[in-house]
Structure 1
Amino acid sequence: MKKYFIAGILVWAPMAVTIWVITWGLGLLDGVFGSVMHAIIAVFPIQFSPGLQHFRELPAVGILIVIAVIMFTGLLAISFAGQWWMKVWNRIMNRIPIVRSIYSSVQQVSSTLFSGSGQAFSKALLIRYPHAESWAIAFQTGNPATEVAAKLGGDYVNVFLPTTPNPTSGFFMIVPRAHTIELDMSVEEALKHIVSMGSVPPSNPTHLTAIKSDPHF
């Protein structure tokens, strides 16, 4: 009975987690559409409200419309006129005192993560955490800011240390480059290893001898 139960878990667990993540993402998109529809219903006359409410309740309509709007926005953004409007929009947003701090930060992070040209999550590293006798897998996210690097005086690197089994949260740290070990495994393999709490070994075994062969440790 125990063997059958474990075999059933191994079949359903990946599917259940995958469905949960997809459902969460789709629910987020549908929530965005729902907020927009509530605002439209509040603006339009009462005679149009029942029809709009019925349209809002149609299954998957919100998800499809949000995806279509995102695709259409991306199509406009890469055009010449769209780039001009984006510059105007950015100037407007950057003039609002509180909004500009949030907007510019999110814009820079998004550009770094999705452009593929930045340093975010470019390498998987081993760092000493939470004490000198233990190791954790982290990801290189870039180099310290100019002021930080000048005051630290040395070669440091920015790293993101994800938590297990949820890698979307974690810690941002600045550590000496000499105290890190670069791994041969890819970022994707490292994420799998972290999410599985170390139970799923990476396909590239060469990183297992990295610590032994490193002369600094």
Structure 2
Amino acid sequence: MATWKRDFASGLILLVPLLVVLVVLRWIYRQVAGVPLIGTIELVAIGVPPSLVPVARTVIALTVFTTVVLAAGYFMRTTLGRVAEEEIDDFMNRLPALRVVYNASKLAVETALSGTEDLQAPVYLETWAGIRMTAFKTGKRTRDGKVVLFMPTAPNITSGFVIEVEPERIDHTGETTEEALTRILSAGFAESPHQIPVEDEEDVLDESTDGADHTRIDVGQRDHSSDDADDEGRATGSRTTDGNRRNTDRDGRRSDESSSRESDRRESDRRESDRRESDRRESDRRESDSR
């Protein structure tokens, strides 16, 4: 049953994006082919065979669409084009409902067409103790040396969070950008070469258990192995203690940094409150003097 569900999900992951692309292309073709200028062209009269009329209309529609897109792109490179884009964005953002659709579609197109060039290597960021999230380097840094990351939401990567963190808090994933995006877009259900399937992990555990049941050691070898195991156990315990000490020190530093930031924030809020209270009193005094 689990295999059937996994195969069905894999088929959906393969076919649904293709169907969506075909539907979008069909809609674009209908919109372009429905332009009055294209519909009124008498292709048969200019020598096009009747059997090739649909093909000719398709070629004309694609040519017109490509020309319009290239012309708009060239216009946007000019100063007047940038001003026009700002005016259009300002106008659309004034519309209560349409601005959401406009901004979402614009961001989706920018994300799709820009590909992964603007997103550098994916990294892990430990947001809470023992919990890490996937983010992407933007190639930018703040004035105080912090790294600017973009942490997308799943499965909609057009929204997310812009985070500024210290470089030492970043762990590299060892994945490509495409693999990380695939995992996010699939809400974690997509298969990755870097992960171990649950079935394989259980098989490994079973094999190790069976091997342990069939292992036999004589008395002399057992004593020698016991001494080696004790030495190795002491070495492992020492490494574990050192690792725990480093983790404790790191957690302590993070706690101190968090407490310091919280104290700074409270101090800033208190100063802002005092400033507002002083401004209010000064305003009341001036109003009283004017009366």
TM superposition score normalised by structure 2: 0.42
Deviation at 1:24, TM superposition (A): 4.1
Which amino acid letter does the alignment assign opposite residue 135 of structure 1?
R
| Distance of 1:175 and 1:11 partners within structure 2 | 36
For 2:148 and 2:32, locate their aligned partners in 1 and report how far apart those are by CA, in whole Å. 40
Task: Say whether 1:183 aligns with 2:173.
Answer: yes
Equivalent residue, structure 2, for 1:162: 153
Q: Which has the higher helix share?
A: 2
Contact 2:157 2:184 in 1 (8 A): no
Residue 69 of structure 1 deviates from its aligned partner by: 4.5
Mark the CA change 1:183 to 1:5 in structure 2 (over 3 Å): closer, same or farther: closer
Q: Distance in 2 between matches of 1:60 and 1:170?
A: 40
Q: Where does the alignment leave 5 or more consecutive residues of structure 1 unmatched?
A: 52-57, 78-84, 206-211
Q: 1:94-134: CA deviations, max 9, x gaps?
A: 344513879xxx7xx959x6498x5x1121111234x4542
1:92 to 70, 77, 80: 80
- For residue 125 of structure 1, give the secondary structure of its aligned residue in structure 2: strand
Question: Do the aligned partners of 1:157 and 1:174 also contact (CA within 8 Å) in 2?
Answer: yes
Correspondence for 1:125: 123
- List alignment gaps of at least 5 residues for structure 2: 44-52, 92-105, 196-242, 252-291
* RMSD of aligned alpha carbons: 4.9
Please give the per-residue CA displacement for 1:8-58, whole angstroms capped at 9, x wherever unaligned: 625642343133332343145236526x71xx36xx9xxx59x9xxxxxx9
TM-score, reference length from structure 1: 0.53
Mapped contact 2:149–2:162 kept (Cα < 8 A): yes
In structure 2, the CA distance between the partners of 1:196 and 1:23, relative to structure 1 (3 Å rule), is same
Q: Could you list the per-position Cα deviations for residues 149-170 of structure 1 after superposition, in whole angstroms to 9, with x for gaps in the alignment?
A: 23xx332213142312xx4433
- How high is the sequence identity, in percent, across the aligned residues? 15
Higher relative contact order (CA 8 A, sep 6+): 1
Task: Identify the match of residue 133 of structure 2 among 121, 133, 136.
Answer: 136
Q: 1:199 & 1:126 partners in 2: Cα distance?
A: 18
